[in-house]
């Protein structure tokens, strides 16, 4: 899979790509990231990419011409690609969208804006707007890296253990279960005994139960299309949690 990023700060993208899972995957050739400096596609000697907005107002607006020149050159290779404008006005990115892009697209091109935004005519050059959340960032570089990282994890061979990606939060509709490692006890906090038992069937059931607990307590909106077994576990958890709430709320009266 190929990711393309159009930005005025290529060093921001390139720095992140050197490290961790992303860096190792790129070194093994599992995916490619091509970074384009928007200033290379300007036509003036100062490599200017922004100007004052028509109608007045604070800040500067990125010009349409450098983006047009860059996209025209990028598309000259004839490859089918999806050009994405990273914008708070776009479709909300989530794990489902990550899977969609990984399965259906061979090339994704990200347009990273800055300043007060990009000339509205950029909309004629892109296929879709994507947002990573309801907040405003200084530019599109961080959203581009978030999306690349999320999708790259799904590409076969990117992770050392393919099961790791399958068990990530949201992959099966739930949040992840708790994870523990050595030491068995730290500052009075112990690893659950079930994880030390070696009984893989019981461990799997415990993990399923804790994933449901996490989801119920933190993101109940994700609890959809549950199996009969999940419903049984969830009913037990509800009783357990309600009992705990009542116990915590009860204060004995001292005579």
CB 165 within 8 A of CB 154: yes
Asked, colleague to colleague, whether 2-152 and 185-249 share their fold, the answer is no
Catalytic residue among 4, 66, 143, 153: 153
What does the pLDDT average to over 99-110?
A: 97
Query: What integer pLDDT is reported at residue 242 of this predicted model?
Result: 86
Query: What integer pLDDT is reported at residue 54 of this predicted model?
Result: 93
Catalytic residue among 168, 176, 207, 208: 168
What is the CATH T-level fold of the domain 2-152, as seen in this structure?
A: Alpha/beta knot (3.40.1280)
Q: Could you say which of 3.20.20.80, 1.10.1270.20, 3.40.190.170, 2.60.40.10 is the CATH number of the domain covering 185-249?
A: 1.10.1270.20
pTM score of the predicted model? 0.85
Residue 175, classed as helix, strand or coil, is: coil
For residue 200, what are its two tokens? 């893989």
Catalytic residue among 40, 96, 116, 128: 116
Q: Where are the domains of the chain?
A: 2-152, 185-249
Q: Which residues pair with 61 in a beta bridge?
A: 51
Instruction: Outline where DSSP puts E strands in the chain.
Output: 2-7, 32-37, 50-51, 61-62, 82-92, 107-111, 128-131, 185-186, 189-190
Annotated active-site residue 116? The verdict is: yes
Annotated active-site residue 66? The verdict is: no
Catalytic residue among 39, 50, 88, 167: 88
Annotated active-site residue 39? The verdict is: no
Q: What confidence tens digit (pLDDT) does each residue in 33-91 have?
A: 999 999 999 999 999 999 999 999 889 999 999 999 999 999 999 999 999 999 999 99
Annotated active-site residue 28? The verdict is: no
């Amino acid at each position: 899979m190929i990711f393309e990023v159009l930005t005025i700060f290529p060093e921001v993208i390139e720095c992140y790509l050197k490290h961790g899972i992303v860096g190792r995957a790129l070194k093994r050739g599992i995916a490619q990231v091509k970074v384009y400096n928007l200033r290379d596609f300007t036509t003036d000697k100062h490599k200017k990419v922004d100007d004052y907005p028509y109608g007045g107002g604070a800040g500067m607006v990125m010009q349409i011409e450098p983006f047009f020149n860059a996209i025209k050159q990028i598309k000259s290779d004839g490859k089918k690609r999806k050009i994405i404008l990273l914008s708070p006005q776009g479709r909300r990115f989530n794990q489902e969208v990550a899977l969609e892009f990984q399965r259906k697209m061979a090339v994704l091109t990200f347009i990273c804006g800055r300043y007060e935004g990009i000339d509205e005519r950029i909309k004629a050059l892109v296929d879709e707007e994507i947002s990573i959340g309801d907040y405003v960032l200084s530019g599109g570089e961080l959203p581009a890296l978030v999306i690349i990282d999320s999708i790259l994890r799904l590409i076969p061979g990117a992770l050392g253990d393919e099961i790791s990606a399958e068990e990530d939060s949201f992959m099966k509709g739930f949040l992840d279960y708790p994870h523990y490692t050595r030491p068995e006890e730290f500052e009075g906090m112990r690893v659950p005994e079930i994880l030390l038992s070696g009984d893989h069937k019981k461990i799997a059931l415990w993990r399923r139960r804790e994933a449901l607990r996490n989801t119920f307590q933190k993101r109940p909106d994700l609890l959809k299309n549950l199996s009969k077994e999940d419903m049984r576990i969830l009913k037990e958890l509800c009783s357990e949690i309600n009992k705990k709430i009542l116990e915590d709320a009860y204060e004995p009266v001292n005579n």
